[in-house]
């Protein structure tokens, strides 16, 4: 594999593009929004600058990484020579089904189509194509250049060969891939989201305050970040949407989102990205500090 097309230049897409480019792949970064592409390249450049400052890479490696990335707003143009497409567009099943149908029409028949979805069924996405054996979940963690895990999700029809190729490729990126099957929440979110939801429920029931709950989990369970802060970091809207997918998928009330979470999302309190969630991030430096503390 040489050419990797990444769809979506947001939080995850720019991290995925960075990681492939730094490993020496040619990356075509595609977004419908010109501004997102500009911001994505800015983020990659800032992150590379930080790595140079910490002596993790040289200035030459930074330049080489940047020169491996080209940007596109046109999907057909961007995926033309791709051996692998990693889709990291907005988490919306209608949008993803549409993108995969288009990809199936325009990509070469050997191209593997991967999605970074947090919760949408890989089997359902694969069914929008005529190549379900070549569709797979490649669930990177945020921030992608730092986090070692990639959850590799096999759809119902994903072939052994494609799974093996993507597992090997993830290792080439310096990641530790874990193979899982396609059920709602996969493994990471199936376990994480009920814990975050329960910590919100604990707050909602008045058992303890925000800092108390986070302190118990940080100091008592050696979690690097408290669950309420982690929910802010992920985005409360994202947490709600993943819980709803699991609630719908399993028809089990244990995944029902806490009413406080639902209300906070309705009120526009989405965590770091909106400036307020369980904590106040109105001074932008505060959000950066949280991120830096987490990234150490």
Binding-site ranges for ligand NAD (CB under 6 A): 7-13, 30-33, 36, 88-91, 95, 99, 116-118, 139, 142, 234
Q: Provide, rounded to whole angstroms, the least separation between the CB of residue 10 and ligand NAD.
A: 2
Residues 233, 173, 171: CA angle, nearest 5 degrees: 105
Q: Provide, rounded to whole angstroms, the least separation between the CB of residue 212 and ligand NAD.
A: 25
Nearest to 115 by CA among 186, 47, 66, 174: 186
Q: Judge contact between 133 and 159, C-beta under 8 A.
A: yes
Q: Judge contact between 8 and 89, C-beta under 8 A.
A: yes
Q: Provide, rounded to whole angstroms, the least separation between the CB of residue 5 and ligand NAD.
A: 10
Closer by beta carbon to ligand NAD, 149 or else 216: 149
Centroid of chain to Cα 175: 14
Q: Provide, rounded to whole angstroms, the least separation between the CB of residue 275 and ligand NAD.
A: 16
Closer by beta carbon to ligand NAD, 14 or else 63: 14
Q: Judge contact between 116 and 87, C-beta under 8 A.
A: yes
Closer by beta carbon to ligand NAD, 216 or else 273: 273
Nearest to 117 by CA among 40, 182, 192: 182
- The CA-based dihedral angle spanning residues 50, 56, 62, 64, taken in that order and rounded to the nearest 10 degrees: -160
Nearest to 153 by CA among 192, 109, 97, 113: 113
Q: Tokens 């759809």 correspond to what residue?
A: 155
Closer by beta carbon to ligand NAD, 9 or else 203: 9
Closer by beta carbon to ligand NAD, 13 or else 277: 13
Coil/strand/helix, residue 186: coil
Q: Cite the active site residues.
A: 118, 139, 151, 189
Q: Provide, rounded to whole angstroms, the least separation between the CB of residue 261 and ligand NAD.
A: 16
- Determine the Cα–Cα distance for residues 42 and 19; give it in Å rounded to an integer: 15
Nearest to 50 by CA among 261, 282, 296, 235: 296
In the 8-state DSSP scheme, what is residue 167?
Answer: H
Nearest to 137 by CA among 188, 72, 98, 101: 188
Closer by beta carbon to ligand NAD, 89 or else 217: 89
């Amino acid at each position: 594999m040489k050419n990797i097309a990444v769809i979506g230049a947001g939080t995850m897409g720019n991290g995925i593009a960075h990681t492939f480019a730094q490993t020496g792949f040619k990356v075509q970064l595609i977004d419908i929004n010109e501004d997102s592409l500009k911001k994505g390249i800015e983020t990659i450049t800032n992150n590379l600058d930080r790595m140079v400052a910490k002596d993790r890479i040289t200035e030459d490696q930074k330049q080489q990484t940047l020169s491996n990335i080209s940007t596109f707003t046109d999907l057909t143009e961007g995926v033309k020579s791709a051996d692998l497409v990693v889709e990291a567009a907005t988490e919306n099943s209608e949008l993803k089904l549409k993108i995969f149908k288009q990809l199936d029409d325009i990509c070469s028949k050997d191209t593997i189509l991967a999605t970074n979805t947090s919760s949408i069924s890989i089997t359902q996405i694969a069914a929008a194509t005529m190549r379900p054996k070549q569709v797979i979940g490649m669930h990177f963690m945020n921030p992608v250049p730092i986090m070692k895990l990639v959850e590799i999700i096999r759809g119902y029809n994903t072939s052994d060969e494609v799974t093996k190729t993507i597992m090997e490729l993830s290792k080439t990126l310096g990641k530790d891939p874990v193979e899982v099957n396609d059920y709602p929440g996969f493994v990471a979110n199936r376990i994480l989201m009920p814990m975050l939801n329960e910590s919100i429920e604990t707050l909602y029931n008045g058992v303890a305050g925000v800092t108390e709950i986070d302190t118990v989990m940080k100091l008592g369970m050696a979690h690097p970040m408290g669950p309420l802060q982690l929910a802010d970091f992920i985005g409360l809207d994202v947490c709600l949407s993943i819980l709803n997918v699991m609630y719908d998928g399993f028809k089990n009330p244990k995944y029902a989102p806490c009413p406080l979470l639902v209300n906070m999302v309705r009120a526009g309190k989405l965590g770091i990205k909106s400036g307020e969630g369980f904590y106040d991030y109105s001074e932008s430096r505060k959000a950066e500090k949280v991120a830096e503390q987490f990234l150490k």
